[in-house]
Amino acid sequence: MVNTGAHSYHARFCFLLVLVSLSVEQVDGVWPLPQQLDQSAERYSLSPQLFSFTYGKDSAAQTGCSVLDAAFKRYFSIIFPDFTKGTENVLRYMWSEPQPFVVSVSVKTRGCDGYPDEDSDESYNLSVLEGQAVLRSVSVWGALRGLETFSQLVHQDDYGSYFINKTEIVDFPRFAFRGLLLDTSRHYLPLHAILKTLDAMAYSKINVFHWHIVDDPSFPYQSRTFPDLSNKGAFHPFTHVYTQSDVMRVIEHARMRGIRVVPEFDSPGHTQSWGKGQPGLLTPCYKGSVPSGSFGPVDPTVDTTYKFMESLLKEVKFVFPDSYVHLGGDEVSFTCWQSNPNVRAFMEKMGFGKDFTKLESFYLENIMNMTATLNKTSIVWQDVFDYHERIPQDTVLEIWRGKNYKTELSRITNAGYRVLLSAPWYINHISTGQDWRNSYAVQPQNFSGTDEQKKLVIGGEIAMWGEYVDATNLTPRLWPRACAAAERLWSNEEKTMNADLAFPRLNLFRCELLRRGIQAEPLFVGHCKHEYDGL
Amino acid sequence: MVNTGAHSYHARFCFLLVLVSLSVEQVDGVWPLPQQLDQSAERYSLSPQLFSFTYGKDSAAQTGCSVLDAAFKRYFSIIFPDFTKGTENVLRYMWSEPQPFVVSVSVKTRGCDGYPDEDSDESYNLSVLEGQAVLRSVSVWGALRGLETFSQLVHQDDYGSYFINKTEIVDFPRFAFRGLLLDTSRHYLPLHAILKTLDAMAYSKINVFHWHIVDDPSFPYQSRTFPDLSNKGAFHPFTHVYTQSDVMRVIEHARMRGIRVVPEFDSPGHTQSWGKGQPGLLTPCYKGSVPSGSFGPVDPTVDTTYKFMESLLKEVKFVFPDSYVHLGGDEVSFTCWQSNPNVRAFMEKMGFGKDFTKLESFYLENIMNMTATLNKTSIVWQDVFDYHERIPQDTVLEIWRGKNYKTELSRITNAGYRVLLSAPWYINHISTGQDWRNSYAVQPQNFSGTDEQKKLVIGGEIAMWGEYVDATNLTPRLWPRACAAAERLWSNEEKTMNADLAFPRLNLFRCELLRRGIQAEPLFVGHCKHEYDGL
């Protein structure tokens, strides 16, 4: 491990120690790797008493900018944790005369009170010089990325002194959509677990929280229009729900970190829990000529279904500011539909014959049109592409099936649709060893297709499905494993294909996550200077 | 999940809810399953104000018995957490008139100040009647097991009222040695992580902590005789070591829970970290005719090695009270020995020819004789059996190689040696899904051999090696996965072979672990009434 060597010398050569840890910490201590990073051995010491963030004179945003004011406060504590906790070692200033240091932040456009969206410009330039750093970006969201990078450039030597190296950075994301999916239906995730995850996402520059909020097992979203959905569909109507204010807190916590919140209301399948609070919504399954008592997917043959979905989607548009909404559309089983005489009659009437994919696309077309009418862009799982002829052209298709995802990338982009790649990043699948290397080896644009097709890959998503995950193991399973995909989606692929070169840097970043209170599991044998003390 | 059904009705039929949760919680809510358990639907309510533990008049142990006094206090808080936290709901007593309840504990032999050992009698009888429970055991260690069982019999309804069912239990362990291995060398585990693990071990009736305390990567044990071993061999000489008082705390915390602490000082291989603080101990490897600068296993050819090992083992005997010590002896590579001219000369002199296994057994025979002289029983890894002719007859062989462990069980027991089975319980190996079922399916005595041979299986060990595990992920990887082996080692195999029948009971136990503050991960989709709130 990176620090091991250093420490074993500790008792013997303190001077050597400093050199060692420097030579270690200087090199590319930033995750994900910036597009251009030039560092020199020249270093400047920082002292919390004389350190400040400020707005550049020419900046469109000035004091009062909610997003950046909060970020300045947040990053000060992240950079100087012991100072903030009041545990810092005053002796350290015997070693070097404290110097003032100012980080000046300038943004071109204000937008402090808005939300990040698909067109947000996250690029930034950062120069660290003697006594000052200059951070320039188009948007406040780019400034947030730059502040994160700056915080990772600051290191602390073994006497507790802070320092930063002379650095020039030009940085921007490779993909605009860098998502993480959490599943709050198979297990309920308490609010603080979601907020903590948003913190760690910001540290890794992941910018979309895909909230798979409801599914078969439970419906924790407390709807204002249909309160019975959670009253009867949640694991518990009071302890295992997300109130409207919970949802607002998640959205605001995410906004402050430049993270979009895209909710998923998956239908017509994966809706068992919906049925408990919304009688008549699901298809009654039949055993022979009588209802069996069990229910199948949403019933696409009755008007009440569409009235319900329209009201629900109107609420969703009102509650979730992002212009995207995920409509699901995956894994619809036809057996229950087949068993139901009314559904069969409807198929007859519509001339669908025996082809239930026609019925499925009939349903989803209606839902996608509702969404379009609400000026929302739909994301749907790849299944929809397979059976559907008339998908609105701006629909985003998300690839989740592990087998031949490259073929799927070719087919869907060849049809001119935008795609999100998730299949190789289902990190709820675990195995012994360094499986982050598999995520890291993924090349999202390495499929047969034209340059135009490659451009249709808008990004990817890390998925943490909830069958075996709740608040007890979420964080160590996510971090640092999710960091591999985060770098793949942000950084230059040529500069980051070698996992062995990335390993020590990821190790340092994992230790930094621990220092920030994120329960990130180890990559391999070794230790961190600041171990996790949350137990 | 067990509780799911109940809660979704909550808002509708409170009365039904109570019936449902009762019918769920009544049945066999004890893990591991007692040998004999008879429960009736007759239930008695308990109120913390009128609840007490007491010593039976005929008990050899009375007030002042360190182990049981502490256990009474501990289990009161476990049984009545909200009362202890002062958050209990007083309204609950509107439902039932509070009744006094006394748990009377009687032990035949005192031994309150001793340590549990291989001969400890852990059997107990427990009868729960109206207003009282009677717990009888031979030793205080059996009483601890009975108190744990009693605590699992107490349930809380949805109004917060505590109750227990009329119950008769006769219980004893199937195997005397039910161990758990933690590896504190590949990653350092802070003291509180070890203590927390001991708590959870007691809940699962695991009674041996196999402390794999040192290995190649680091030497965190702070030796009084050889302080440089940790000064130079630990990841950090101050933050990543176990002081003598740390070790004493672990041993006492374990004793209070009837858990033995068996330390492992693995040699001659797995000793890289030893070499840093003990020059001359390891074999210098040669490249051609010159030392390469790297080192191999302990050098078995020089007297200084045996002097060192003898002093170290004397200290170990003094510090660790258990009569067993683990000497390792696994995975010794011969390449470095082969490269070294002095070793080759020694082989010549001893007439070992080219057979380095002879050199290895020469070394281990010396070490095992030292241990015998110190009146300690040696445990060694199975490798030792494979190359060694003259193993002291009371040595315990531990089987760790996954392939053909049944053949190994036959061979070793056929040679008349006692064995510990660990191979199928290497739960540091992880995979997606309910892998606890694999651990649960193991039949430790299902190998070809006589009844005498079967008796030589003294138990088994769950192993959590540290390559990918530290304080961030230890607890959710251990629990509830380790519970499967814990039941296999304690309970009657015939009564516990069906994993599907065990599933709901293990689910309840996992929820109980959460309630006790153990960060135990979920088995599958669902929820617990009291979720983990430690984040």
Which of A199, A236, A278, A481 to substitute to test the interface with B, most B CBs within 10 Å?
A: A236
Angle at the Cα of B278 (from B277 to B281), degrees rounded to 5?
A: 145
Give CA separation, A450 vs A317, A370, A442, in Å.
Answer: 35, 33, 19
Query: What pTM value is reported for the model?
Result: 0.93
In this structure, which long-range contacts are made by residues A359-365, counting pairs with CB atoms below 8 Å and at least 24 apart in sequence?
A: A359/A300, A359/A301, A360/A268, A360/A300, A360/A329, A360/A332, A360/A334, A360/A387, A360/A388, A361/A387, A361/A388, A361/A389, A361/A390, A362/A300, A363/A267, A363/A268, A363/A298, A363/A300, A364/A268, A364/A327, A364/A329, A364/A388, A365/A390
In this structure, which long-range contacts are made by residues A335-340, counting pairs with CB atoms below 8 Å and at least 24 apart in sequence?
A: A335/A285, A335/A296, A336/A283, A336/A285, A336/A294, A336/A295, A336/A296, A336/A297, A337/A283, A337/A296, A337/A297, A339/A285, A339/A286, A339/A287, A339/A292, A339/A296, A340/A283, A340/A284, A340/A285, A340/A286, A340/A296
Contacts of A10 in chain B (CB under 8 A): 236-237
pLDDT, tens digit, 9 for 90 and up, residues A255-293: 999 999 999 999 999 999 999 999 999 999 999 999 999
Q: Is A503 on the interface with B (CB under 8 A)?
A: no
Of A473, A522, A529, the CB nearest to B468: A522
State both tokens at B236. Answer: 């950090």
The 3-state DSSP class for residue B421 equals strand
Of B190, B236, B520, the CB nearest to A472: B520
Neighbouring CB atoms inside 10 A of B113's CB total 10
Q: Is B192 on the interface with A (CB under 8 A)?
A: yes
Of B196, B473, B531, the CB nearest to A476: B473
Q: Is B79 on the interface with A (CB under 8 A)?
A: no
d(CA A294, CA B132): 46
Q: Is A390 on the interface with B (CB under 8 A)?
A: no
Asked if B217 lies within 8 A of A526 by C-beta distance, the reply is: yes
State both tokens at B513. Answer: 């672990």
pLDDT (0 to 100) of residue B87: 59
Chain A nearest-CA distance from B222, in A, is: 15
Report the residue count for chain B: 535
Q: Which of A331, A348, A452, A531 is catalytic?
A: A331
Instruction: Give the type of residue at A503.
Output: F
Q: Is B223 on the interface with A (CB under 8 A)?
A: no
pLDDT (0 to 100) of residue B5: 32
Task: Return left, alpha or beta for A250; rule: phi > 0 is left, psi -120 to 50 is alpha, else beta.
Answer: alpha
Chain B nearest-CA distance from A446, in A, is: 28
Of A3, A10, A471, the CB nearest to B532: A471
Chain B nearest-CA distance from A106, in A, is: 36
Give CA separation, B218 vs A160, B225, B465, in Å.
Answer: 25, 18, 14
Task: Return left, alpha or beta for B44; rule: phi > 0 is left, psi -120 to 50 is alpha, else beta.
Answer: beta
Residue of A nearest to B520 (CA): A472
Q: Is B437 on the interface with A (CB under 8 A)?
A: no
Which is nearest to A425 in space by CA: A456, A398, A393? A398
How confident is the prediction along chain B (535 residues), in pLDDT tens digits per residue? 223 333 333 333 333 333 333 344 444 589 999 999 999 999 999 999 999 999 999 999 999 999 999 999 999 999 999 776 665 555 544 556 788 999 999 999 999 999 999 999 999 999 999 999 999 999 999 999 999 999 999 999 888 899 999 999 999 999 999 999 999 999 999 999 999 999 999 999 999 999 999 999 999 999 999 999 999 999 999 999 999 999 999 999 999 999 999 999 999 999 999 999 999 999 999 999 999 999 999 999 999 999 999 999 999 999 999 999 999 999 999 999 999 999 999 999 999 999 999 999 999 999 999 999 999 999 999 999 988 778 999 999 999 998 899 999 999 999 999 999 999 999 999 999 999 999 999 999 999 999 999 999 999 999 999 999 999 999 999 999 999 999 999 999 999 999 999 999 999 999 999 999 999 999 999 999 999 977 5
Active site annotation includes B310: no
d(CA A335, CA A340): 9
Place of tokens 């004389």: A50
Q: Is B533 on the interface with A (CB under 8 A)?
A: yes
**Mean pLDDT, to the nearest integer, of A96-102?**
84
Q: Are the C-beta atoms of residues A308 and A244 closer than 8 Å to each other?
A: no
pLDDT, tens digit, 9 for 90 and up, residues B448-470: 999 999 999 999 999 999 999 99
Residue of A nearest to B276 (CA): A8
Contacts of B188 in chain A (CB under 8 A): 527, 531
